Amino acid sequence: MITRLIFIAAMAALTAPTYAAAIGNKDCSHPLSASGLHALESSPDYAAVKTEFTKALIAACKEGKSRDDIGFPAADELAGKAADHYVSTHDPKTTDPKAIRNQAGAIYNAWLGGYTGFDLPEDSKKKPARQPMNTAACEQLTKDAIQASIPPNVTITLEQYKKSAGQLGMICMIALQQGYDGKPRNNELLGSLSPEVTEMFNRAYDAGAAQ
């Protein structure tokens, strides 16, 4: 029989979050979350017990759902006992320790899922990989800011243009990075910029935020 201490340690990755009381209306025909089912079905031996075990999961869920008369600590204890009892009284049809732990964890989560009303264990939400920041926008934004800053009928030298492009390009990159990282706009920097460069900054920030 799996002791309560070993069970909690072994099932740490599948344990439900702490809820104060039953707060949902669980559909026990779906006793586990997608990740919970995946953990079970990852074992090639699971097919041999799937029909019987699905019935056990539904029963555990319904039992947990019926216990709206207790608080979470008591529910957590009963869910653990239900898991321990199932593992000690049923043939798991496998000798793989991980598969056996997954069965115990599934009973635990089905029972507690019925009690809380949640699909347990909680599915991990993985964010898609983000593309590196695209800096191409700053080339045109810098050119636009330089041209807008030149007074009418004034011509600047190539050296002056390159110097301005270097300075404004750096400001543009700062704005782009801040937008990309989701940071607040640098109001201190904005307050020191000309209207043309301020427009460039804001456009670069928005371009970064949109990525």
Angle at 10 between CA 52 and CA 78, to 5 degrees: 60
Same domain, 75 and 112: yes
**Spatial separation of the C-alpha atoms in residues 79 and 60, rounded to whole Å:** 8
Q: What does the alpha-carbon distance between residue 90 and residue 110 come to, in Å, rounded to a whole number?
A: 17
Question: What is the amino acid identity at position 134?
Answer: N
| Whole-angstrom distance, CA of residue 113 vs CA of residue 26 | 7
Alpha carbon of residue 121 to chain centroid: 14
Beta-carbon count within 10 A of 23 CB: 11
Q: How many domains, in total, are found in the chain? A: 2
Question: Does residue 49 fall inside a structural domain?
Answer: yes
- Whole-model pTM: value is 0.53
Q: Does 122 fall in a domain? A: no
Segments forming the whole domain that contains residue 205: 137-209
Same-domain status, 14 and 107? yes
- Is residue 43 assigned to a domain? yes
- Do 92 and 161 fall into the same domain? no
The pLDDT, as a whole number, for residue 127 is: 60
Question: Is the same domain home to 92 and 144?
Answer: no
Tokens 């750096």 belong to residue: 170
> Does residue 123 lie in a domain region?
no
Q: Label each residue of the chain as H, E or C.
A: CCCHHHHHHHCHHHCCCCCCCCCCCCCCCCCCCHHHHHHHHCCCCHHHCHHHHHHHHHHHHHHHHHCCCCCHHHHHHHHHHHHHHHHHHCCCCCCCHHHHHHHHHHHHHHHHHHHHCCCCCCCCCCCCCCCCCCCCHHHHHHHHHHHHHCCCCCCCCHHHHHHHHHHHHHHHHHHHHHHHHCCCCCHHHHCCCCHHHHHHHHHHHHHHHCC
Q: Is residue 74 part of a domain?
A: yes
User: Does a structural domain hold residue 129?
Assistant: no
Q: Are residues 104 and 191 in the same domain?
A: no
Residue type, 175: A
The reply to whether 106 and 182 lie within a common domain is no
Residue at 18 is within a domain: yes
Residue where a domain terminates, one of 54, 84, 116: 116
My answer on whether 101 and 200 are in the same domain is no
Does one domain contain both 151 and 192? yes
Per-residue model confidence (pLDDT) at position 22: 43
Do 103 and 201 lie in one domain? The reply is no
Establish whether the linkage from the previous residue to 121 is cis, with ω within 30° of 0: yes
Among 173, 162, 163, CA closest to 136: 173
- Asked if 185 and 85 sit in the same domain, the reply is no
pLDDT in tens, the chain (211 residues): 333 333 333 333 333 343 334 445 789 999 999 989 988 988 888 888 999 999 999 999 999 999 888 877 888 899 999 999 998 998 888 888 888 899 999 999 999 889 888 888 887 666 667 788 888 899 999 999 999 999 988 999 999 998 888 889 889 998 998 899 888 887 877 888 899 999 999 999 999 999 8
Do 46 and 145 share a domain, yes or no?
no
> Considering the domain boundaries, does residue 88 fall inside one?
yes
The answer to whether residues 143 and 103 belong to one domain is: no
